[in-house]
A and B are shown apart, each in its own frame.
Chain A
Amino acid sequence: MTVSRRGLLAATAAVPGLMRVQDAQAQGIAPRRGGTLTTMLTPEPPVLQIGVNNQGPTLVIASKMFQSLLSFTPALEPIPVLAKSWTISPDGKEYVFTLQEGVKFHDGQPMTAEDVIFSIMKFHTELAPRARAVFALIESATAPDPLTVRIVLKQPFQPFLLMFDASACAIVPKHLFDGQDYRTAPAVQRPVGTGPFRFAEWQRGNFVRLERFADYWKPGQPYLDAIIYRVVPDSQSRRLAIETGQAQLTQANDIEPFDVPALRAKPNLEVNVKGWEYFSPVSWIELNHRVKPLDDMRVRQAISMAIDRNFIAQRLWFGVGKPATNPVASTTRFHDAGAKVAAYDVRAANALLDAAGHKANAQGVRFTLKHLVLPYGEIWSRLGEYLKQAFRQVGIALELESTDAGSWARRVGAWEYETTINFVYQFGDPTLGVERTYVSTNIQKVTFTNTGGYSNPKVDELFATARGSADPKDRQAAFSAVQKILCEEVPQIWLMEMAFPTIHDKKLRNVITTGLGVHTSFDDVFLTA
């Protein structure tokens, strides 16, 4: 399989949302140079150097300063960024990237193949668990010339390209990191990338200011003079900020879902839930299979049938995101729409629990479970309250426990919970983002592994087949089979294909143009007069 840039462009031209600047021009709106975008950042990250810290807010702000070889459309097709073009050998083991000419880092040094190789082989491999897992497959990375990178894999790995987004493998300057401790190097405090905006100022607890990088490699871009990220810790204050025009953009967790309907009604604001296709987080009730009777498949099926996912999507999230009926998000590759969990049916759920021998006592309670409420905002407490009601309908008493982020991470990592809520990014491919939760080889005392402890040799085998196959057809077959098994055995109770509202002033154009949404460089974003 060889993919040329020309073929790629032909493929992507059909994708709406890609050619936004041109679209805007077609509507008679020429991009306007100038203006400052004020937005927000929640919560404030500890450091802004991507790689050293990969929290959500860090990705939002760092993607303006750092770029990678590619980005992705909403359909997860690659878009050239620092790589002008690329080829993949027919055996799926050799990747050759041709880099953009004239790309400079913010300190004026040119970006070359050496920086790319350093970023892949050293920087991210050493720092980031996700990169470490995939880049371990690289046999060699070489630079035949300063604008060419040749990577040879030990075995074919079809989702490899998905690792070259800025959020996964930002290209960092080798000359500022090589030979130092990457976490403590001075550049961590003043990030230097190739992006359209460069770091200007950070007053902790107050704001981060990025300014236009005049030597950016795309002529005439970026359009904005500066982007200011204000740190506003209270969600109601953030809502006021966008309502009163003190900020022109909110993203990710800035606005609670229950505030979205009121903001949708504002004529000067646009609410968009697209732009999360690459991450496609799926949320679930995480069950600890070591706690009886959660090891019993019938009990898990009953719990799954007791949950009204439409209610959750419409009444708790107000239509931001949609019900999940499968472990693989519908926006992720290899999602099989044919595999679905059983529909909401309280009577059938009760019948299953009866059949499993869980008799109700005089109060109508079959058994009691503890639920560790996810401490990431009020919406999760509301979800906990709903689940308590839903579980009670089938005779399960759910006891809610509150905690803070530190305790939550420790307890889930140590398997010290009965049920909780969890959600993880899927990164476009089940091998990258779904497999980790279900294969028995990944049962670890670490958060975001298979902490639930589900184990099925057939599932392990199918995920392994999909991981190692070079042919998408073979992978689809394996993923379809595994989705069917998982929907039958419901190791975790999937709730929502999550999305987050991006709310912006209508004067701000081109905010969501890719499957990465607000995690892109914003080099084509502009403010109309």
Chain B
Amino acid sequence: MEVSKLLGFLLRRGVKAAVVVLAIVVCNFLLVHAAPGDPASVIAGQSGAADAVFLEQLRRQFGLDQPLHVQLWIYVKSVLSLDLGFSHRQQQAVSLLVLERLPATLLLTGAAFVFAVTLGVTLGALAAQRVGKWADSLITVVALTFYATPLFWVGLMLVLVFSVWLEWLPSFGMSSVGADLHGLAVVWDVAQHLLLPALTLGLFYLAVYARLTRATMLEVADQDFVKTARAKGVPEGRILRSHILRNALLPVITFAGIQAGQLLGGSILVETVFAWPGIGRLAFEALLARDYPVLLGVFFCTSVMVVLFNLVTDLLYAIIDPRVEVAG
């Protein structure tokens, strides 16, 4: 692949991506403001006492006394200068609130992602290799069970077994608070807290990867070039790895690309059940409180991630399968 061609591709896609993100920002803004209620009425509702002065003070402070199009213009201008705004409700810059939650979310979704992809592809490959045998059936049944079971239920059951009955792992949180740990002890502590939520989230996606890998591998295994390789006497293990699996990976990468784009969104359910201080909960709570700047900030970050990962996926195609060329 020539460098100039790649640069041209990246430039064209970059411009498209910017337009898409801007359109998303405007749509999000209008959608969020279309929800009934505003942050002032929510705060009044939660405080148990209110008067007209109180509501008016809050609306003025939050900038809600301006007409909607003025608010939109102010917001777009600040986003263009890479300023995500200020949460008046929490008295914090939105970028700060998002950045504070980002590591927790990336750790959880990243761990779940790696777990799901590696184990899912492996199990899928194993099932394809032993198609029709008991191992295939077992993998299929287990994968479908986890796919079909609601996430929060899996989470609660894992907690019941590993936290309540066996007392091996903590049932919530990301670390032991106030334990004053250092160095490796911190890593071990976080790992213990991470295991159950990452497993819960990962088990769901594992099923998708296993099914996808199995199906596409079976499809590829029937094709002529595989038969040719076999006829030439290529060892079975190499056929599986280099001929079948590599060709079967494209749909898996497509799916992984989509999922990777959603990593930032986290999982509200898993974060809620395990009290994981991630970004999914930040967005959900901001929605309930009508904390518009925070909600828009999270939406902005996730949409940028989705666009970015789509780009990376397209580039990965070209590396895995040289027949695919980049073109914008």
Q: Which residues of A contact B (CB under 8 A)?
A: 36, 38, 43-44, 46-47, 53-56, 128-130, 132-133, 183-184, 188-189, 203-207, 209, 226, 228, 230-234, 236-237, 240-241, 243-244, 246, 404-413, 424-425, 444, 446-449
The answer to whether B27 has its CB under 8 Å from any CB of chain A is: no
Most buried by A among B51, B89, B164, B290: B51
B275 touching A409, Cβ below 8 Å:
no
A230 touching B275, Cβ below 8 Å:
yes
B273 touching A209, Cβ below 8 Å:
no
A425 touching B277, Cβ below 8 Å:
no
A207 to chain B: closest residue by CB: B177
**Chain A nearest CB: distance from B38 CB in Å?**
7
**How many B residues, CB 8 Å from partner?**
57
On whether A230 and B173 interact (CB within 8 A), knowing A243-B164, A406-B290, the answer reads yes
For chain B, residues 21 to 61, give those with C-beta under 8 angstroms from any C-beta of chain A: 35-39, 41-55, 61
Question: Which residues on B sit within 8 Å (CB–CB) of A53?
Answer: 43, 47
Listed A/B pairs (24) with beta-carbon separation below 8 Å: A36-B178, A38-B177, A47-B90, A53-B43, A54-B49, A55-B47, A128-B54, A129-B53, A189-B91, A204-B90, A209-B177, A209-B178, A232-B275, A233-B281, A240-B163, A409-B46, A410-B38, A413-B41, A444-B51, A446-B50, A446-B51, A447-B41, A447-B45, A448-B44
**Chain B nearest CB: distance from A474 CB in Å?**
26
Question: Which residues on B sit within 8 Å (CB–CB) of A209?
Answer: 177-178
A424 to B48 CA separation, bound complex (whole angstroms): 6
Most buried by B among A54, A231, A237: A237
**Binary per-residue interface labels of chain B (166-185) against chain A in the complex, 1 for a CB within 8 Å, 0 otherwise:** 01001111100110000000
Pick from B156, B178, B275: contact of A231, CB under 8 Å? B275
A206 touching B174, Cβ below 8 Å:
yes
B44 touching A413, Cβ below 8 Å:
yes
B172 touching A404, Cβ below 8 Å:
no
The answer to whether B101 has its CB under 8 Å from any CB of chain A is: yes
A237 touching B49, Cβ below 8 Å:
no
The answer to whether B272 has its CB under 8 Å from any CB of chain A is: yes
**Chain B nearest CB: distance from A241 CB in Å?**
6
**Chain A nearest CB: distance from B196 CB in Å?**
11
On whether A184 and B171 interact (CB within 8 A), knowing A234-B272, A446-B44, the answer reads no
The answer to whether B240 has its CB under 8 Å from any CB of chain A is: no
Question: Which residues on B sit within 8 Å (CB–CB) of A425?
Answer: 48-49
Question: Which residues on A sit within 8 Å (CB–CB) of B285?
Answer: 43-44
The answer to whether B311 has its CB under 8 Å from any CB of chain A is: no
| 14 more CB-based (< 8 A) A-B contacts, given A46-B90, A244-B171 | A36-B178, A54-B47, A129-B53, A183-B91, A204-B100, A205-B104, A205-B281, A230-B173, A233-B275, A237-B272, A404-B37, A406-B289, A446-B44, A449-B51
B35 to chain A: closest residue by CB: A406
Most buried by B among A129, A203, A231: A129
